[in-house]
């Protein structure tokens, strides 16, 4: 599988799992990814990156992927890229040599997860009440 397809499927399945679990967890008294506006200061290295305007949490998805790169040469002609051990195969009078290596790639992708709709409604109501209180106080 190519790296781009792996990242795409991983992120899609993370969001799908969050969305699919929200109703079940709420029925047990919990919330999966509740809507919030606050980030804890001093959270260096944590996965919580922040939140966006509608209370969606933005998490850092940390990827640590081993990639394989293979360099193949068949009959003296360059082949495709790949990685790790060296071997030589003789087939049909054609020599084939390949070198293979494995590398690790680490990166983080910010991902805004779908918020729990019940906590989103409560957050919206709380914000509206705070705005009314500020307006009523004359500020």
**Mean pLDDT estimate for the chain:** 74
- Res 20 pLDDT > 90: yes
> Apex CA 50: angle with CA 45 and CA 51, to 5°?
160
Using an 8 Å Cβ cutoff, are 9 and 22 in contact?
no
Q: 13 falls in which pLDDT band (50, 70, 90)? A: very high
Summarised one tens digit per residue, pLDDT across range 108-131 is 888 888 888 888 888 888 888 988
Q: What percent of the chain has pLDDT over 70?
A: 68
pLDDT confidence of residue 83: 28
When mean pLDDT is compared over 37-41, 43-47, 61-65, the highest value belongs to: 61-65
User: Comparing 48 with 131, which gets the higher pLDDT?
Assistant: 131
Using an 8 Å Cβ cutoff, are 35 and 116 in contact?
yes
pLDDT confidence of residue 75: 54
Main-chain dihedrals φ then ψ at residue 62, nearest 5 degrees: -95, 115
Prediction pTM value: 0.63
- Res 59 pLDDT > 70: yes
Main-chain dihedrals φ then ψ at residue 12, nearest 5 degrees: -65, -40
Beta bridge partners of 98: 72, 87
Show the tokens assigned to 128: 């509206």
Tracing tokens 């494995």 back to the chain, one arrives at 102
User: Comparing 8 with 84, which gets the higher pLDDT?
Assistant: 8
């Amino acid at each position: 599988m190519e790296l781009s397809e792996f990242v795409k499927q991983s992120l899609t399945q993370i969001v799908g799992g969050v969305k699919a679990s929200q109703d079940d967890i709420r029925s047990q008294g919990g919330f999966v990814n509740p809507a919030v506006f606050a980030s804890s200061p001093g959270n260096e290295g944590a996965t919580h990156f922040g939140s966006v305007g509608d209370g969606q949490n933005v998490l850092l998805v940390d990827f640590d992927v081993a990639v394989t790169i293979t360099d193949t040469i068949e009959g003296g002609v360059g082949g495709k890229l790949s990685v790790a051990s060296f071997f030589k195969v003789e087939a049909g009078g054609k020599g084939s040599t390949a070198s293979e290596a494995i590398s690790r790639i680490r990166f983080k992708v910010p991902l805004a997860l779908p918020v729990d709709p019940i906590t989103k409604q409560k957050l919206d109501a709380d914000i509206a009440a705070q705005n009314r209180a500020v307006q009523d106080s004359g500020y």
